Structure 1
Amino acid sequence: MAICVVVLPDAEAAERLTQGLKNSDLPLMQCLTIPPDSDAIDQVELLSPNLTRQRRQKAMARWLMPFGFLAGLTFTKITTLTTFDSFGPWGQPVIGGLLGMGSGLMGSYAAAASVNSENEDGVRILRNRREEGRWLLLMETPSGIDLPWQTVQRSRPLQVVRLSEL
């Protein structure tokens, strides 16, 4: 699928392009207009690094926390450390497992924050254009169908940023 964002000078140009896309027979999976004075850009995962990072962190936590629990449990069992001996023979490995699970959670935050998005430069450009008062139009087409470049060029965009083409 092809995803791109068209930067337009004003609301009138954005409305004309949106109507032109709706009147064309091209199937669009997504066509979203983002005005400069709203926080709608923060609600779109493709254009919000924070949403992408949160999704990545949650996905990593689903894997790292159970493995951390098992690693903490195993470490407590195979070593002869008696750090949590007051919790008894069953409580000591469970406390070690919970500490390992907490380590997995912290690791998911660190790992998610250290990975940069593939579209980071394009997203930064688009956020700057929005702060300049420009309108953004996010378009996504199904796999194998190219974007309607002739319709887009007729609207005289200031810039077209291609985010991905899968």
Structure 2
Amino acid sequence: MPVCVLVLNERDAAESLVTSLRDAGTHLLRVALVAPDAEPTSSGGPTAERIDDVDLLNPSLARNRRQRSMSRWLMPFGFLAGATFTQITTLDTFARFGTIGEVVIGGLLGLGSGLMGSYAAAASVPSDNEDGVRILRNRHKENSWLLLLETRPGVELPWTLVQKVRPQQVVRLSEL
């Protein structure tokens, strides 16, 4: 999904832009207003979120999501690989548990290896949005408001409305 994040000086500009976009009929899949740490998150208008609660702006949440996704296929594959390895080798490491117990223990060790592999792989794969997220987190530390706008694929924001609020910066995040 196309995601655009605007860096703004004040909350009123963000609220007026969201209202203008809705009045213009722009269909937004997601709107998230991120307040600076020094500002209150609610003041009559839409509730602002903390930056760590927005998954697109929090690298650790994205890494955890990648890890869970990878573990769904690495753990069963690891179990099968461990059980197969135990069957095809002549090693009797767990022979005291019987032939079935030995295969199950080998499979469980493979399952654990798959889990460890999912953590290692998720940590080693950088996100396409890493540079953009770093820029946005730095602007957030400088007490700027962030307005995340997500549209449907192929739908562009009306840039004339966006330019009326005079954003400090516009950061486009790649599709996720």
Give the alignment's TM-score, normalised by structure 1: 0.94
Deviation at 1:165, TM superposition (A): 5.6
Rounded Cα–Cα distance in structure 1 between residues aligned with 2:27 and 2:36: 26
Equivalent of 1:107 in 100, 103, 117: 117
Partner of 1:29: 29
Cα RMSD, aligned residues only: 1.5
Q: Does 1:133 align with 2:162?
A: no
Q: 8 Å contact 1:2–1:147 — kept in the other structure?
A: no
Deviation at 1:113, TM superposition (A): 0.4
Give the alignment's TM-score, normalised by structure 2: 0.89
Secondary structure of the 1:88 match is: helix
Partner of 2:3: 3
Equivalent of 2:168 in 146, 153, 158: 158
Partner of 1:96: 106
Q: Matches of residues 42-81 of structure 1 in structure 2 within 5 Å?
A: 42-81=52-91
Secondary structure of the 1:29 match is: strand
Amino acid at match of 1:109: Y
Rounded Cα–Cα distance in structure 2 between residues aligned with 1:46 and 1:69: 32
Q: Deviations over 1:46-96 (max 9, x none)?
A: 111111111111111110111111111111111111111111121111101
Identity of aligned residues (%): 63
Gaps of at least 5 residues in structure 1 are: none
| Number of residues of Structure 1 aligned to a counterpart in Structure 2 | 166
Give the stretch that moved more between structures: 147-156 or 38-47: 38-47
Secondary structure of the 1:68 match is: helix
CA distance 1:165–1:110, shift in 2 (3 Å): closer
Rounded Cα–Cα distance in structure 2 between residues aligned with 1:49 and 1:98: 31
Rounded Cα–Cα distance in structure 2 between residues aligned with 1:63 and 1:43: 27
Deviation at 1:103, TM superposition (A): 0.2
Gaps of at least 5 residues in structure 2 are: 42-48
Rounded Cα–Cα distance in structure 2 between residues aligned with 1:108 and 1:145: 35
